[in-house]
Structure 1
Amino acid sequence: MTTYPIHTVETAPEGSRPALQRLNDALGLVPNLAATMANAPSLISTFVAAFGQLGGAGFTDGERQVLLLSNAVANRCAWAVAFHSTLALAQGVPAAEVEAIRRGGLPGDPRLAALSATTRALIDKRGHLDDADVKTFTAGGFDEMRLLDVVTGLAVSTMANYTGNLADPPLEPPFQAQAWHDGY
């Protein structure tokens, strides 16, 4: 396994410090995954900028976490699954819905199921959705234009999930209750 330093705002390369500071200001901490991403200023800066744009994508905070959790499970990133499970629960996503996604299934809520299924279809089909996939998404109550916002979520998740899989940073105590292993 490759080993990467886990940086603080102070120890990160100069080009990574502003992005880490933004995360620290927003979250009250610099997550280990982001602190690992800081080894590449281009990666952490792009990640933080894209993540900031995801907030205006027309999804609720809970829906955003369902999207990101679905991606983390599809990409088999244990750190991100624990992180987004924790945040989804904190945003009011019912535990049963979070658990369904963590097990590779779909939430029972039709809107969340449509979002989760669509994000997984985009990953599995490399963006080549068919009419049935689009209908699944719109049947959940989403406007077809929100598919482009799902792409933004996928881009953000890919940066985090691939880094997490490559570097395997330690899971912080606040997220350990939601620890996850591939194959659950």
Structure 2
Amino acid sequence: MSRIPTHTVEGAPNASRPLLQKIAQSSPTGRPLNLHAQMAHSPAVLAAYTSLRAVTAEHGTLDSKVSWALNLATAAAVGNDYMMGIASRFAGMNGWTETQIVALRTGTTTGDARIDALTLVVREAAANSGNVTDATWKAAQQASWSDEHLTEAFAFLGLTMFTGYFLNYAQTDTDI
């Protein structure tokens, strides 16, 4: 049972309405998902979420297949079924097979050692308050991930943790 009721675009606080409307326009359902409709109670929370999404989209250098692998690996570490469902869906839409999606969720090999090295970095960081062992970090570097990529991976880690923690906090009902 959700702790925070959902808003419609029309019933949301004035400061949240434009953000919620923009989300609804890009939503596959034509309306905000429950997580967005709950975030709308606080314009600050909704603006923080949409800002993180916008900056990763605008300034990110990792392709969408990689970013959804990072989101899914982080969602699995956060342990929120709603977030894992969203990330799994988008991972599939961006080229990951069902077997690879399961691997990203469980931390097993995807068959791509380079991706596995980078997702292990975010998985460790999510599980250990941002801490990553030197061995994991070096393995990602040896897999040809640059300092820029490793730094950018943190943005996807942050976006997914922010979202997943909110979903856990609000006990959001799944609507996907």
Return the TM-score normalized by structure 2: 0.88
Q: Is 2:48 aligned against 1:54?
A: no
Residue 179 of structure 1 is matched in structure 2 by none
- The CA distance in 2 between the partners of 1:94 and 1:112, in whole Å, is 14
CA RMSD between the two structures: 1.8
The counterpart of 1:43, out of the listed 24, 33, 45, is: 45
Residue 70 of structure 1 is matched in structure 2 by 73
User: Alignment identity in percent?
Assistant: 26
Moved more, 69-78 or 138-147: 138-147
Deviation for aligned residue 1:141 = 2.9
Q: Is 2:135 aligned against 1:136?
A: no
Deviation for aligned residue 1:126 = 2.3
Return the TM-score normalized by structure 1: 0.85
The one-letter code matched in structure 2 to 1:8 is T
- The CA distance in 1 between the partners of 2:38 and 2:75, in whole Å, is 17
- Aligned to 1:145, the other structure's residue is in SS state helix
Residue 7 of structure 2 is matched in structure 1 by 7
Q: Which residues of structure 1 form unaligned runs of 5+? A: 176-184
**Cα contact 1:134–1:144 (8 A) shared by 2:** no
- The CA distance in 1 between the partners of 2:45 and 2:168, in whole Å, is 15
**Cα contact 2:78–2:127 (8 A) shared by 1:** no
**Cα contact 2:107–2:120 (8 A) shared by 1:** no
**Deviation per CA, 1:91-119, whole angstroms, max 9, x where unpaired?**
11121110112234342211221221010
- Aligned to 1:48, the other structure's residue is in SS state helix
**Cα contact 1:33–1:169 (8 A) shared by 2:** yes
Residue 90 of structure 2 is matched in structure 1 by 87
**Cα contact 2:2–2:172 (8 A) shared by 1:** no
